[in-house]
């Protein structure tokens, strides 16, 4: 989801004469909270995908709480760094995704309405079981407008369906590169 933001943010920062080494100088408080959350989410998705160790009953019972825990870790990490401008966008995007995910049982609802432009779309897709973090939008879905309903269709090379929260997260990632790479230069001038 963040490939475009990373690439564009990096290129624009370089064009603005930003320095890569400045990224390492940016202090992110509680950075390990993001790492722990990512490791837990990645591990759970991998275990579920491989049907390893825990079994489907575990995921049905406890995934909601594990997912909630990882989101809370990330939100705490963002709040610790809220003085940074890019973190404000990340916080809003994260909270919007949090609302729709946890109002719908811990999974992000996805709409395939008009999704034939989606890169991985197949006719069977709406009937296929989803991964552990996504579900199909139904008439019972809450906060549909915050769900994955925005289609980025082909010929866009990274076609996908995203949410409003995802867009704000992507803006935050783009701004991270501007603040981390270019800010030092501005500071030096001042």
Distance (Å, rounded) from C-alpha 36 to C-alpha 71?
Answer: 11
Distance (Å, rounded) from C-alpha 143 to C-alpha 108?
Answer: 11
Percent of the chain predicted with pLDDT > 70: 79
pLDDT of residue 134: 82
Cα 139 from chain centre: 25
pLDDT of residue 124: 59
| Among 108, 92, 99, CA closest to 149 | 108
Please check the confidence at residue 135 and state whether its pLDDT lies above 70.
yes
Q: Residues 117, 154: contact at Cβ < 8 Å?
A: yes
pLDDT of residue 111: 84
Percent of the chain predicted with pLDDT > 90: 52
Mean pLDDT value of segment 98-118: 82
- pTM comes to 0.81
Assigned token pair, 18: 């930003």
Distance (Å, rounded) from C-alpha 59 to C-alpha 48?
Answer: 8
Distance (Å, rounded) from C-alpha 86 to C-alpha 52?
Answer: 37
- Tens digit of pLDDT for each residue in 39-66? 998 888 777 766 665 666 776 778 888 8
pLDDT of residue 35: 96
Distance (Å, rounded) from C-alpha 53 to C-alpha 55?
Answer: 6
Average the pLDDT over each of 8-12, 21-25, 35-39, 81-85 and give the range with the smallest value.
21-25
What does the DSSP 8-state code read for residue 139?
A: T
Q: Residues 46, 80: contact at Cβ < 8 Å?
A: no
């Amino acid at each position: 989801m963040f490939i475009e933001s990373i690439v564009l943010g990096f290129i624009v920062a370089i064009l603005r004469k930003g320095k890569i080494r400045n990224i390492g100088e940016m202090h992110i408080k509680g950075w390990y909270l993001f790492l722990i959350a990512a490791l837990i989410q990645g591990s759970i998705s991998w275990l579920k995908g491989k049907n390893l160790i825990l079994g489907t009953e575990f995921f049905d019972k406890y995934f909601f709480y594990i997912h909630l825990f990882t989101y809370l870790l990330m939100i705490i990490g963002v709040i610790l760094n809220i003085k940074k401008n890019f973190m404000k966008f990340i916080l809003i995007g994260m909270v919007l995704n949090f609302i729709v995910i946890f109002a719908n049982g811990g999974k992000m609802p996805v709409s395939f309405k008009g999704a034939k432009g989606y890169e991985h779309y197949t006719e069977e897709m709406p009937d296929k079981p989803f991964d552990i973090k996504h579900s199909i939008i139904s008439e019972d879905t809450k906060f549909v407008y915050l769900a994955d309903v925005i289609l980025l269709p082909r010929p866009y090379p990274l076609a996908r369906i995203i949410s409003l929260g995802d867009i704000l997260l992507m803006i935050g990632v783009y701004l991270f590169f501007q603040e981390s790479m270019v800010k030092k230069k501005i500071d030096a001038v001042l």
